[in-house]
C-alpha cells in the first residue's frame, strides 16, 4: 500500500464534509512522500481520498478525488478542464474572455486559469501543480489551441507553498509589454497578460457595469478604484455627461484612456491618479457631487485577523461615497474579501447611511459571476459580494 496520510478525528470530519483542504493539524501521521506528490489520505486502514502533498505549509493536502482508487493525474486534469470549459460555454455564451478554472470550485484546488481570447494565463498556487505544469499546459493546448500559455505566479500565497514568484511564457510567444484587445461587455479593453494586475484584468466584475445602462443618461458618474475603468467606459457608453475615474495606478489609467478609442467612445473621462481616499476627501472639500458612485476597493481583510480594521475602512469609504452622492443617486459598493462576509458588509452600509443621515434602499445584491463558481460546502470559494443602493 502506498504511503498514507492518516487523518485525525477532526480530519475525518473535514474529509467527510467534502472540503478539499486538509491542514497539518488534521493529520494523525504524515506520509512518507516528497512535496508535490499525490498521496493517499485515509484512516490508517484504507485510502478514503487522494491529494497533493506539501510538507512545507499548514495547508498540507489539496484533495483531488474521493474513494480508494488512485486517480491518473493527466486524465483527471483533462477531464476537469473539459468540464470547466463546458460550464463557461453554458453560462457565458459568446464570451472569449473569462476565468476558465476557478481552483477548488472546478475540482482543481490551487489552480487558476484565465482566458483572454487566444492567451491563457495560469496561476499554479500549489507545489503539486507546479510539478505538473507541463501536463497542464499540454491539456490546455489540446483543448483551446492558444497562441500563448503564460505563468503568472507573482502572488504572495506562493511563499507559503515554498515556490518563488515568477512570470514567464510556458508555450507560444508573447513579449513582456505586449497587449491584447478583448471585449468586456459593451466596451473593448486592453490587457497586458504579463504585466497587468492579477492575470491582466479583473474578470470577476466584468458583468456588473451593464447595470449602469438605465442610470447614466445625462448623469455625473464617479468610478473609484477604477483600474482600467470598466464602469467608467460603460457609463460613457450609456450616455453619462461627465465621468470621473480614480485609481492609484498610472499604467492602468493609461490603458483605460486607450480603451476609449478602442471602444469608439469620445474622450469624456476625467482620469485622476492618486490615493483614492485622498482624492475622495478632496472631492468632498470641493463639494463635488455625483449621480452614480462606484466603489470597488481592494480587499481590506485578506484574513480573519484584519476583519475589525477592514470594518472601519469599509465604513469610512462608504461614508465618503454617500457624502459625494446626490439625493436620488445610486451607490455601487463591492467587497472582495472572503473573510468579510455579506452580512458584515450590509451592516457597514447600514451604519454608514445612519451616520451620514441618508435614507437608503438596496435595489440589487451582486455576486461573483458564473465563471467564478462557488461550492456550497467550501466557504472560501465565495468571496465577492456587492450591493447597489438608491440613496436619498
**Within a 10 A sphere around the Cβ of 160, how many other Cβ atoms?**
15
336 is a catalytic site residue:
yes
> Which residue is catalytic, options 121, 216, 335, 336?
336
DSSP 8-state secondary structure symbol assigned to residue 322: H
Contact assessment for residue 299 and residue 337, using Cβ atoms and an 8 Å cutoff: yes
DSSP 299: P
Kindly state the cell numbers that stand for 292: 452614480
Spatial neighbors of 371 by CB under 8 A, at least 6 apart, are 87, 88, 91, 92, 98, 99, 100, 102, 203
- C-alpha cell belonging to residue 183: 471585449
Dmax of the chain from CA atoms? Answer: 72
Q: Report DSSP letters for 129-167, one per residue.
A: HHHTHHHHHHHHHHHH--SEEEEEE-STHHHHHT---EE
**What is the bridge-based pairing of β-strands 385-391 and 325-335?**
antiparallel
Query: Which residues are catalytic, by number?
Result: 336
Amino acid at each position: 500500500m502506498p504511503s498514507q496520510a492518516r487523518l485525525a478525528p477532526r480530519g475525518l470530519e473535514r474529509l467527510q464534509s467534502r472540503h478539499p483542504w486538509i491542514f497539518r493539524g488534521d493529520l494523525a501521521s504524515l506520509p512518507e512522500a516528497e512535496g508535490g506528490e499525490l498521496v493517499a489520505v485515509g484512516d490508517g486502514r484504507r485510502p478514503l481520498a487522494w491529494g497533493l502533498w506539501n510538507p512545507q505549509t499548514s495547508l498540507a493536502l489539496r484533495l483531488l478525488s474521493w474513494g480508494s482508487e488512485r486517480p491518473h493525474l493527466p486524465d483527471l486534469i483533462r477531464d476537469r478542464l473539459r468540464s470547466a470549459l463546458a460550464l463557461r460555454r453554458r453560462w457565458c455564451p459568446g464570451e472569449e474572455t473569462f476565468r476558465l478554472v476557478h481552483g477548488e470550485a472546478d475540482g482543481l484546488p490551487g489552480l487558476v486559469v484565465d482566458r483572454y481570447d487566444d492567451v491563457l494565463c495560469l496561476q499554479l498556487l500549489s507545489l503539486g501543480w507546479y510539478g505538473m505544469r507541463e501536463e497542464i499546459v499540454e491539456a490546455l493546448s489540446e483543448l483551446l489551441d492558444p497562441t500563448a500559455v503564460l505563468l503568472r505566479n507573482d502572488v504572495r500565497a506562493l511563499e507559503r507553498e515554498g515556490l518563488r514568484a515568477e512570470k514567464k511564457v510556458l508555450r507560444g510567444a508573447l513579449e513582456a509589454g505586449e497587449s491584447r484587445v478583448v471585449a468586456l461587455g459593451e466596451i473593448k479593453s486592453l490587457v497586458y497578460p504579463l504585466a497587468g494586475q492579477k492575470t491582466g484584468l479583473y474578470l470577476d466584475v466584468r458583468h456588473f457595469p451593464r447595470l449602469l445602462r438605465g442610470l447614466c443618461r445625462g448623469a455625473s458618474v464617479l468610478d473609484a478604484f477604477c483600474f482600467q475603468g470598466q464602469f467608467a467606459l460603460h457609463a460613457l457608453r450609456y450616455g453619462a455627461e461627465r465621468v470621473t475615474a480614480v485609481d492609484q495606478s498610472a499604467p492602468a489609467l493609461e490603458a483605460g484612456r486607450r480603451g476609449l478609442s478602442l471602444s469608439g467612445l469620445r474622450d469624456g473621462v476625467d482620469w485622476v491618479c492618486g490615493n483614492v481616499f485622498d482624492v475622495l476627501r478632496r472631492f468632498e472639500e470641493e463639494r463635488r457631487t455625483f449621480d452614480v458612485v462606484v466603489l470597488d476597493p481592494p480587499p481590506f481583510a485578506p484574513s480573519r485577523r484584519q476583519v475589525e480594521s477592514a470594518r472601519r475602512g469599509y465604513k469610512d469609504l462608504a461614508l465618503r461615497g454617500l457624502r459625494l452622492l446626490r439625493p436620488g443617486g445610486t451607490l455601487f459598493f463591492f467587497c472582495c474579501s472572503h473573510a468579510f462576509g455579506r452580512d458584515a458588509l450590509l451592516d457597514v452600509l447600514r451604519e454608514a447611511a445612519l451616520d451620514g443621515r441618508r435614507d437608503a434602499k438596496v435595489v440589487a445584491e451582486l455576486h461573483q459571476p458564473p465563471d467564478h463558481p462557488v461550492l456550497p460546502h467550501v466557504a472560501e470559494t465565495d468571496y465577492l459580494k456587492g450591493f447597489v443602493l438608491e440613496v436619498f
